[in-house]
Amino acid sequence: MTSTVLGLSGSLRGESLNTKLLCAAAALAPAGMAIEVTTLHGVPLYDGDVEVQGMPESVTTLAERIAAADAVLIVSPEYNYSLPGVLKNAIDWLSRVKPNPFAGKPLAIMGTSPGRFGTARMQYQLRHALLFTDARVLTKPEVMLGGAGQLFDAAGNLADERTAKLIRSQLDALAAAIAEMHRVKSA
Ligand SMILES: Cc1cc2nc3c(=O)[nH]c(=O)nc-3n(C[C@H](O)[C@H](O)[C@H](O)COP(=O)(O)O)c2cc1C
């Protein structure tokens, strides 16, 4: 049976290097895994008054897609040593949805930036922001890619075999976590 992974980009930019990385991961998915590429366009700013009137449809739809997936893959830039506001905002909304769409779900993180640190600082802050969600965030291998501008060719395709190998190895770890989740659920 094919497992589904909802891939969320933390960038809204049309030419986003992180969305390109997410697309590259989707193309490198192991047999039996399908990764859907999604952005967070359309999610409004969190507002408790809006929540009281009813969850926005964009949030409900996103939560349903997460709940229906076997796992989540977040690929995000680093902004000011942290996670982009759009991503934190989406996590804030999703943390208010009942039942919790992330509960027990394997979740992997990747990111790339033009500088040397490859989103490392963002990734540890993202792990912190995800604690309350009860997602099972993978610890290894970490995919923190510096030199983002050199990773892709003119057509936007991943052009670095070492990076492809690292992505494959994280996706294999995600596949193993999905299998373990199903084993525990059916036990
Ligand atoms: C508001 C803002 C803050 C940024 N802060 C960082 C940062 O802290 N660390 C870093 O490596 N790059 C930082 N950058 C550069 C981004 O890594 C770079 O613009 C990247 O291409 C954005 O990701 P995207 O291509 O997926 O949209 C920042 C960019 C913006 C717009």
Report the number of secondary-structure helices (H) and strands (E) in the chain.
Answer: 6, 6
Q: What is the pLDDT of residues 105-158, one digit of tens each?
A: 999 999 999 999 999 999 999 999 999 999 999 999 999 999 999 999 999 999
Q: Which domain holds residue 63?
A: 3-186
* Closest C-alpha residue for ligand 1 atom 3: 79
Query: Hey, is 22 helix, strand or coil?
Result: helix
**Ligand 1 shell residues, CB under 6 Å:** 11, 13, 16-18, 77-81, 113-115, 117, 148
- Mean pLDDT across 93-116: 97
- Mean pLDDT across 157-178: 97
Q: How far away, in angstroms, is 143 Cα from ligand 1 center?
A: 16
User: For position 133, which CATH number holds?
Assistant: 3.40.50.360
pLDDT level of residue 84 (50, 70, 90 thresholds): very high
Q: How far away, in angstroms, is 79 Cα from ligand 1 center?
A: 5
Q: Which of 17, 15, 95 is nearest to 51 (CA)?
A: 95
Regarding pTM above 0.95, the answer is: yes
Q: Residue 1 has what pLDDT?
A: 81
Domain count, the chain: 1
Which ligand 1 atom lies nearest to the CA of residue 77?
23
Q: Residue 169 has what pLDDT?
A: 98
Which ligand 1 atom lies nearest to the CA of residue 117?
11
Query: In whole numbers, what is the pLDDT of the chain averaged over residues?
Result: 97
